[in-house]
Amino acid sequence: MKNSLSVFFYEAFAEEEHSLRACLPPEISADFTWKSIQEAGHAVPPAALISIRTQSVVPAAWTRSLHGILSRSAGYDHVADWLKKNPCGIKAGYLPEYCVRAVAEQAALLWMSLLRKLPQQQRQFPVFLRDGITGRECAGKTLLVTGVGRIGYEIARIGQALNMRVYGVDIVEKHSDISYMQIDEGLRQADVVVCSMNLTAENHGYFSYERLSQCRPGVVFVNIARGEMSPPVDLLRLLDEGIAGGVALDVYPEEPRISLLLRSGQPSDDPLVRVLREIGNRPNAVLTPHNAFNTEESVEQKSRQSVQQTVHFLNTGSFLWPVPG
């Protein structure tokens, strides 16, 4: 395939495009769209190197033309899965460090919003009603961080700074300042549960109704990792039964498909869309559009690191931070 572009960036929202353009050297020709690959409708890749986030599905037919895929995301499971299904030798990279603090702060923002019943407070402002909106403070509460990697460890540090009792769940217990425990024991003690695990073939549906029903009534559940680990239909049942006192999600199962349906603004009979909208209408739920990464600081850092990856790939044919194979 012949084209004049060095790289094409999909899923680049306005602020990100502006930041990327400022970082790109003049010798690299690039173009951008806010759309995912499927929304853009490109029949062939517009450049031999493309950059995506988490909602684009790369067509299998593009394997004959692509040389590289850069995912501007801290997670890489979507790219790793694609490479397994399309073993074609295409190089792939990701950005492991750029948004650690941003995502950790979003997790804290979400659990504090639910502990303090912020959505319900906002609903009651027009009549200035304070009945039923007495919240809870963080100090002295038990925070269970499941998956204590880069982001999970930062979440734990924030919890500790808020004088919470912090426990971690992880296969590898690598942090000496974290108290680890098994998941079932942790769930029975937790006031707040945060999912910050990497998505694997083994942990799809990990936070099922059966698992989370071990929690004490009123537990707050937050997922800023991957939606496939917390089935929305199970979360809705936990809310209905009063086991979950609050649910906050920034990630969703089948996100490439669901994001298209939601962005259309049209009514949908899709079962997953219906469940998510039902959760979103609850006064003890907060749903955000996979936006935990999105701070001025992380967008600037992501742009710099994306350009580093791009320059290195164009010069060497490999990425500084390759997707583990």
pLDDT by residue for the chain (325 residues), tens digit each?
Answer: 345 899 999 999 999 999 999 999 999 999 999 999 999 999 999 999 999 999 999 999 999 999 999 999 999 999 999 999 999 999 999 999 999 999 999 999 999 999 999 999 999 999 999 999 999 999 999 999 999 999 999 999 999 999 999 999 999 999 999 999 999 999 999 999 999 999 999 999 999 999 999 999 999 999 999 999 999 999 999 999 999 999 999 999 999 999 999 999 999 999 999 999 999 999 999 999 999 999 999 999 999 999 999 999 999 999 999 999 7
What does the pLDDT read at residue 282? 97
Strand order through the sheet with 49-52: 30-32, 7-9, 49-52, 68-71, 91-93
HEC sequence for 1-37: CCCCCCEEECCCCHHHHHHHHHHCCCCCCEEECCCCH
Fold of 100-287: Rossmann fold (3.40.50)
What would you report as the CA-atom Rg of the chain, rounded to the nearest whole angstrom?
21
What does the pLDDT read at residue 3? 59
28 in Cβ contact with 9 (< 8 Å): no
What does the pLDDT read at residue 1? 38
C-alpha span between 321 and 163 (Å, rounded):
35
What does the pLDDT read at residue 325? 78
Angle at 153 between CA 147 and CA 155, to 5 degrees: 95
239 in Cβ contact with 282 (< 8 Å): yes
Interacting residues of 88 by C-beta distance below 8 A, sequence separation 6+: 63
Range list of H helices, the chain? 14-23, 37-40, 77-85, 100-115, 118-124, 150-161, 183-189, 209-212, 232-240, 255-264, 271-280, 296-316
C-alpha span between 33 and 36 (Å, rounded):
8
Domain ranges of the chain: 7-98+296-316, 100-287
Which architecture characterizes domain 7-98+296-316 according to CATH?
Answer: 3-Layer(aba) Sandwich (3.40)
C-alpha span between 107 and 47 (Å, rounded):
36
- Dig out the tokens for 250 from the structure: 């920034």
Does pTM top 0.85 for this prediction? yes
What does the pLDDT read at residue 2? 46
